[in-house]
Homo-oligomer: A and B are copies of this chain.
Amino acid sequence: MYNSNHSITDVETDDVESEVGESTYSRPLLIKRVNVTSQIALVGAKICPVESLDYEIPENELVNEDWRLRRKIQVFQYVLLKWAFALIIGVSTGLVGIFNNIAVENIAGFKLLLTTELMLKHRYYKAFMTYAGCNLGLATLAAALCAFIAPAAAGSGIPEVKAYLNGVDAYSILAPSTLFVKIFGSIFGVAAGFVVGKEGPMVHTGSCIASLIGQGGSRKYGLTWRWLRYFKNDRDRRDLITCGAAAGVAAAFRAPVGGVLFALEEAASWWRSALLWRTFFTTAVVAIVLRGFIDFCSTGSCGLFGQGGLIMYDISAAKVVYSVPDILAVILLGVIGGLLGSLYNYLVDKVLRTYSIINEKGAVVKIVLVIMISLLTSICSYGLPWLATCVPCPDNVSTSCPNTDVSGNYKSFQCPPGHYNDLASLFLNTNDDAIRNLLSTNTAKEFHISSLLIFFGAVYFLGIITYGIAVPSGLFIPVILAGSCYGRLVGRLFEPVSKLDNGLFSLLGAASFLGGTMRMTVSLCVILLELTNDLLVLPLIMLVLLISKTMGDMFNQGVYDQIVKLKGLPYIKAHPEHYMKHLVARDVVTGPLITFSSVEMVGNIIHALRSTGHNGFPVIDEPPFSDAPELCGLVLRSHLLVLLKGKFFSRDKVLARNETLRNIAELDFAKGGSGKGLKLEDLDIKEEEMDMHVDLHPIVNTSPYAVAETMSLAKAAVLFRELGLRHMCVVPKSRGRPPVVGILTRHDFLPEHILGLYPHVRYRK
């Protein structure tokens, strides 16, 4: 608590240090706590632009008053609005998905048409210049958008969404500018021929849309309804963003059930049955929007967009009958997928670390990197097909061979009439069409083994070096490309003993590589099912996913988890680490602890808000308001700011809750969008008001979750994680001490923090 004749830090640091001293010999452990201050600084520096989210709805008098009103009038509207939001998210994500697909197909199609035409005229050098020039232009455009407008839009976006749903709001990750760049950057990036997908960016786009809708309009322009404020809290926003992420997957893969499962398995950290139901509705809306759009485009009104953009691989021509050798082949695929997948993750991590150093040097350097990768990609795509020999066209094909249109299995490239270049069919196509060619059935001999090997190598390494440049880039497509490529290779290997179609092998290869990198199971399985529309392969896909995930998990984490960690986002895992059992809650409490009295001096509050970055402060009831000091509850920085802005001050230290409650309704305690809330600088407190008092009771959350200081840290972590808390009070066990020992936040549960304090605890059994 505050005494006016002490400076804050002095008192509090002492307090904490004594706590710390006590804890080291309170348990029969040989654990030495290392120097605290340096450690905090280090952790603090790393996670600076991150805000933790609070999924607990505070229960203070104000909210209870508000809730009473809400029950009377607005519960029905609230529920209705939830569903309306889900509908809007579904429709907008679906429309963005459509726009994205039409744009990519038209831009990339135009580029490929130009190149093909020049090739047919044997003007090979000019064709390359055109091809590489188009790629370069589009890539630079994408990179410029990313570098100058919204750096947060680079990359997949799934790790950030995952972190958000775990309770970490990275800086501007869901801002409108990010949304804008994500949409257009993704279109230009994919059209530029990079080995990147538009699936991850779609997930991010869906989440951004959901977040924008959850903002409830712009307060600046008066575009907001008062009762939208009920959505302005982290919990409702989280639910909306979960729906958005699911809608993104649904729009990217045309997989509504897969979208729900993706949100459930990979994206979300908390889940409720009611949310399942709402997410499902959102993805159903997306499916219907896409369906309508496909009907519309089938009349030819979407330019070069044919069957192309929305992935849907038809393997139904393949007969799924399998026997023992096929199972062996599937097991082999699983093992390969696990090994290549973990290697992929390892290399992506290394490359990302290198790029993050390069990218720090400024926007121009970022763009230069993009240009270099773009040139390399163009050279590979255009140069490598020259290594392939021309193959005579097969007789019994339904499509024309060689075909000269945008997509298609048989690209003529430099070949004489009646021949095709199999490598060009893979390289000089959009990624979606390349996958479609690889997954095509009844085309066992279409691709040379050497061509497949070259393509696999190129795609594997281009995929690794492309992720991390300043362009929105999904990981699904590179992984599916490489996977289906080696799947076909394995299929050729097993040709003598297996009756499975090569297209099926391709699919299983894609599944195995996906399992090996992303380590998802059920959601991948369903997404692949929805992509291929054939349930008979289900057991094989399940088997291959099980094996590749298990193999991969032996070496490292899934790629998204790895990126989350690399970005320094304080992600809390579902399970506490085993060494947390040997520590207790007070062991990781770090100071200085700052508490307020329940009727506090304005100056003290201002000073505390200014001198620390804390977001929650314990409030102590002291005599005369109680018999002895006792914990009244927890007050949030944002609520304090609003209360101070309202200036409900009184000269003396008296209770004033009734006046405050009567007048406070005009103020908005709802949480604004990220970075939009009231700031300390917005307050205008006069010097004479600094000595006045303010009654905090109306805004104190009187039911904060608290643990005893001797609670095992593992159990405290479970409580913190399961309930989605931002602050947790630690209360003393013995009597005659201040009623609160400290506050635990997300950072206190991070392995880095704990192992920083107790480096040797890791090795304890």
* Residues on B with beta carbons closer than 8 Å to the beta carbon of A273: 265, 574
Q: Does A288 interact with chain B (Cβ within 8 Å)?
A: yes
Least CB separation from A271: chain B residue: B271
* Contact between chains at B733 and A723 (CB < 8 Å): no
Cα(A715)–Cα(B58), bound, Å: 10
A73 CB to nearest B CB, Å: 10
A367 CB to nearest B CB, Å: 39
Q: How many residues from A make CB contacts under 8 Å with B?
A: 66
Query: CB within 8 A of A630: which of B67, B574, B734?
Result: B734
* Contact between chains at B628 and A735 (CB < 8 Å): yes
* Contact between chains at B715 and A765 (CB < 8 Å): no
* Contact between chains at B712 and A522 (CB < 8 Å): no
Q: A265-B276, A277-B521, A734-B627 are in contact. Are A287 and B68 (CB under 8 A)?
A: no
Query: CB within 8 A of A538: which of B256, B542, B626?
Result: B256
Least CB separation from A323: chain B residue: B295
* Contact between chains at A72 and B284 (CB < 8 Å): no
* Contact between chains at B256 and A542 (CB < 8 Å): yes
Q: Does A578 interact with chain B (Cβ within 8 Å)?
A: yes
Q: A273-B265, A581-B64 are in contact. Are A281 and B546 (CB under 8 A)?
A: yes
* Contact between chains at B734 and A628 (CB < 8 Å): yes
Q: Does A529 interact with chain B (Cβ within 8 Å)?
A: yes
* Contact between chains at A535 and B529 (CB < 8 Å): yes
* Contact between chains at A719 and B705 (CB < 8 Å): yes
* Contact between chains at B706 and A708 (CB < 8 Å): yes
* Residues on B with beta carbons closer than 8 Å to the beta carbon of A281: 546
* Residues on B with beta carbons closer than 8 Å to the beta carbon of A735: 627-628, 630, 735
Interface 1/0s, chain A 545-569, versus B by CB < 8 A? 0100100000000000000000000
Q: Does A15 interact with chain B (Cβ within 8 Å)?
A: no
Cα(A711)–Cα(B256), bound, Å: 41
Q: Does A108 interact with chain B (Cβ within 8 Å)?
A: no
Q: Does A526 interact with chain B (Cβ within 8 Å)?
A: yes
A310 CB to nearest B CB, Å: 14
* Contact between chains at A733 and B542 (CB < 8 Å): no
* Contact between chains at B530 and A535 (CB < 8 Å): yes
* Contact between chains at A765 and B68 (CB < 8 Å): yes
Interface residues of A in 702-740 (CB under 8 A from B): 702-703, 705-708, 710-712, 714-715, 718-719, 722-723, 733-735
* Residues on B with beta carbons closer than 8 Å to the beta carbon of A68: 765
* Contact between chains at A712 and B59 (CB < 8 Å): yes
Cα(A353)–Cα(B260), bound, Å: 38
Cα(A535)–Cα(B528), bound, Å: 12
Copies in the complex: 2
Q: Does A257 interact with chain B (Cβ within 8 Å)?
A: yes
Q: Does A533 interact with chain B (Cβ within 8 Å)?
A: yes
* Residues on B with beta carbons closer than 8 Å to the beta carbon of A533: 535-536
Interface residues of A in 14-66 (CB under 8 A from B): 59, 64
Query: CB within 8 A of A522: which of B64, B260, B521, B703?
Result: B260
Least CB separation from A532: chain B residue: B535
* Residues on B with beta carbons closer than 8 Å to the beta carbon of A522: 257, 260, 276-277, 280
Q: Does A680 interact with chain B (Cβ within 8 Å)?
A: no
Q: A260-B522, A533-B536, A734-B627 are in contact. Are A542 and B765 (CB under 8 A)?
A: no
* Contact between chains at A703 and B723 (CB < 8 Å): no
Q: Does A291 interact with chain B (Cβ within 8 Å)?
A: yes
Q: Does A220 interact with chain B (Cβ within 8 Å)?
A: no
Cα(A256)–Cα(B538), bound, Å: 9
Cα(A367)–Cα(B587), bound, Å: 64
* Residues on B with beta carbons closer than 8 Å to the beta carbon of A526: 257, 526
Q: A273-B574, A284-B546, A546-B281 are in contact. Are A539 and B291 (CB under 8 A)?
A: yes
Least CB separation from A549: chain B residue: B277
* Residues on B with beta carbons closer than 8 Å to the beta carbon of A543: 284, 288
Cα(A261)–Cα(B522), bound, Å: 9
Q: Does A525 interact with chain B (Cβ within 8 Å)?
A: yes
* Contact between chains at B284 and A539 (CB < 8 Å): yes
Interface 1/0s, chain A 499-542, versus B by CB < 8 A? 00000000000000000000001100110011001011011001
Q: Does A631 interact with chain B (Cβ within 8 Å)?
A: yes
A124 CB to nearest B CB, Å: 43
Cα(A675)–Cα(B625), bound, Å: 52
Interface residues of A in 676-717 (CB under 8 A from B): 702-703, 705-708, 710-712, 714-715
* Residues on B with beta carbons closer than 8 Å to the beta carbon of A710: 702-703
A54 CB to nearest B CB, Å: 14
Q: Does A361 interact with chain B (Cβ within 8 Å)?
A: no
Q: Can you sample 7 A-B contacts with CB below 8 Å?
A: A71-B765, A257-B538, A277-B521, A281-B546, A529-B535, A703-B712, A706-B708
* New contact pairs (12) apart from A280-B525, A631-B733, CB-CB < 8 Å: A59-B712, A59-B715, A257-B522, A257-B525, A261-B261, A265-B276, A280-B546, A626-B734, A630-B734, A702-B712, A703-B715, A705-B715
8 tightest Cβ-Cβ pairs between the two chains A and B: A284-B542, A703-B712, A722-B722, A71-B765, A533-B535, A703-B715, A703-B711, A68-B765
